[in-house]
Homo-oligomer: A and B are copies of this chain.
């Protein structure tokens, strides 16, 4: 099987971009574009509509409109990997088709996640139907394995079957299992076939890169993009220096992980941008309390954390 090494394939660090809502809980495309630009300036690609984007708390129509607004605002589609996997077949097809037509670099596709205990046959059927219905050879599907949230797993056997059936289309995976053994197995079995393995967070970034993987797609890249991207860009230069960078990333991540992640990311963006409305989240999430925000900022201080260039 030929390895697709076209330069446009996403590599390095991507972020599931947090989605700003206004007071009425409507998504705000302009502020989203501004955050996307800041991430791109920090060498981080745009996995818009991920778990940390509250993508599943938005309707398909809202997501289609946001994608259009981002492209209209000049965000390069090739740097975007929108999440397009929904519970409903027809929703996934509609979103995926739109992303491909806009020229997105790939799509990150959750399995349908309402039913639990579904078979690999059923999941294969789901991905196959979407791929066939979209019917576009530009489509690049990155599978999204996040069992702690979706509660629906993408097994190694399923990946093998999908790769065999759609070798040019099944392009890689985001592994948010938190299980390094699983990431390692994917790196060994599938990365050599050009199936790009992204760790689900920067916790496993260095290990993934050393194992031949493509990089990471990480929530905290929303707030700490430059440092994470720097490790992805320099890890081969000096081993000790890379280990040190990894440890610094871990220290920042640990702070965010000690809080509800999405409200904490948004509280940080709100604080460092000076735009308090960033703190808004859609239900079923709740914003951090003032006490939690205080604790977050205090805990970040000793790590030297900042978000340069975010304000204005």
Contacts and interface: CB of A to CB of B under 8 A. Distances in A.
Contacts of A122: 283-286
Contacts of A60: 59-60
A155 interface: no
Interface string A278-290: 0000111110000
Given A123-B284, A126-B283, A284-B115, A56 B87 contact: yes
A139 B85 CA distance: 31
Contacts of A57: 87-89, 112, 114
A141 to B, nearest CB: 15
A265 to B, nearest CB: 14
Nearest to A152: B284
A116 B283 contact: no
A111 interface: yes
Contacts of A129: 25, 283
Contact of A88 (B56, B114, B148): B56
Interface in A80-111: 87-91, 94, 111
A295 interface: no
Contact of A125 (B58, B151, B283): B283
A40 to B, nearest CB: 27
A118 interface: yes
B113 A114 contact: yes
Given A129-B25, A286-B121, A59 B91 contact: yes
A89 B57 CA distance: 6
Interface residues on A, range: 35 or more
A125 B88 contact: no
B286 A116 contact: no
A94 B151 contact: no
A111 B151 CA distance: 16
A113 B113 CA distance: 9
A160 interface: no
A59 B112 contact: no
A285 B25 contact: no
Nearest to A62: B90
Interface string A53-75: 00011111110000000000000
Given A87-B87, A94-B59, A284 B25 contact: no
Given A89-B282, A112-B283, A113-B114, 4 more contacts: A56-B87, A122-B285, A125-B284, A129-B283
Interface of A: 25, 51, 56-62, 87-91, 94, 111-116, 118-119, 121-123, 125-126, 129, 148-152, 282-286
